[in-house]
Amino acid sequence: MATQHTRVLGRILVAPSVILLFAWMIVPLAMTIYFSTLRYNLLNPGLERFVGAENYIYFLSDPAFIGSLLNTLVLVGSVLAITVVFGVLIALLLDQMFVGRSIVRLMVIAPFFVMPTVSALVWKNLLMHPVSGVFAWLATSLGFRAIDWFAQVPMLAIILIVAWQWLPFATLVLLTAMQSLDSEEKEAADMDGTRPLSFFFHIVLPHLARAVTVVVLIQTIFLLTVFAEIFVTTGGGPGTKTTNLAFLIYAQALLQYDVGGASAGGIVAVVLANIVAFFLVRLVGKNLET
Partner 1 sequence: MRMPLRAAIGGISLILASQAMAQTTLTVATVNNSDMIRMQRLTSDFTTKNPGVALKWVTLEENVLRQRVTTDIATKGGQFDILTIGTYEVPIWAKQGWLLPLEKLGPGYDVDDLIPPIRAGLTVNGKLYAAPFYGESSMIMYRKDLFEKAGLKMPAAPTWDFIADAAKKLTNRSTETYGICLRGKPGWGENMALLTAMANSFGARWFDEKWKPEFDGPEWKKTLTFYVDLMKAAGPPGASTNGFNENLALFNAGKCGMWIDATVAASFVSNPKESKVADKVDFALAPTAGLGKGANWLWAWTLAVPAGSKKADAAEKFIAWATSKDYIALVASKEGWANVPPGTRKSLYSNPEYLKAAPFAKVTLDSINTADPINGTVKPKPYVGVQFAAIPEFQGIATGVGQQFAAALTGTATVDAALASAQALTQREMARAGYK
The strand pair at 38-39 and 49-50 is best described as antiparallel
Binding pattern for the stretch 246-265 against partner 1, x by CB under 8 A and - elsewhere: -----xxx-xxxx-------
Residue 45 within binding range of partner 1, rule CB under 8 A: yes
CB of 150 to partner 1, least distance (A): 4
Question: Judged by CB, which is closer to partner 1: 150, or 169?
Answer: 150
Question: Judged by CB, which is closer to partner 1: 125, or 198?
Answer: 125
CA angle 8/9/15 to nearest 5° reads 90
From candidates 73, 130, 178, 209, binder to partner 1 by CB under 8 A:
130
CB of 47 to partner 1, least distance (A): 8
Residue 43 within binding range of partner 1, rule CB under 8 A: yes
Whether the CB-CB separation of 30 and 267 falls below 8 Å is answered with: no
* DSSP type of residue 133: S
Helices (H) and strands (E) in the chain, counts: 14, 2
From candidates 234, 245, 265, 269, binder to partner 1 by CB under 8 A:
234
Whether the CB-CB separation of 81 and 164 falls below 8 Å is answered with: no
Question: Judged by CB, which is closer to partner 1: 149, or 169?
Answer: 149
CB of 147 to partner 1, least distance (A): 9
Residue 143 within binding range of partner 1, rule CB under 8 A: no
From candidates 1, 131, 142, 197, binder to partner 1 by CB under 8 A:
131
Residue 6 within binding range of partner 1, rule CB under 8 A: no
Which residues have a Cβ under 8 Å from the Cβ of 152 and sit 6 or more positions away?
none
Instruction: Return the number of other C-beta atoms located less than 10 Å from residue 163's C-beta.
Output: 20
| Dihedrals phi, psi of 50, to nearest 5 degrees | -75, 130
From candidates 78, 83, 119, 233, binder to partner 1 by CB under 8 A:
233
Question: Judged by CB, which is closer to partner 1: 158, or 177?
Answer: 158
**Residue 175 half-sphere exposure toward CB, CA atoms < 13 A:** 21
CB of 193 to partner 1, least distance (A): 55
Residue 99 within binding range of partner 1, rule CB under 8 A: no
Candidate ranges 6-14, 37-45, 162-170, 199-207; the one touching partner 1 (CB under 8 A):
37-45
Residue 239 within binding range of partner 1, rule CB under 8 A: yes
Question: Judged by CB, which is closer to partner 1: 168, or 236?
Answer: 236
Number of residues that bind partner 1 (CB under 8 A): 38
- Strand ranges in the chain using DSSP code E only, listed in sequence order: 38-39, 49-50
Name 49's bridge partners: 39
* DSSP type of residue 50: E
Q: Is the dihedral of CA 110, 112, 114, 119 positive or negative?
A: positive
Distance in angstroms (rounded) separating the CA atoms of residues 178 and 60? 44
Distance in angstroms (rounded) separating the CA atoms of residues 137 and 257? 43
Which chain residues interact with partner 1 by CB under 8 A?
41-45, 58, 63-64, 124-125, 129-132, 136, 146, 148-152, 233-241, 243, 251-253, 255-258
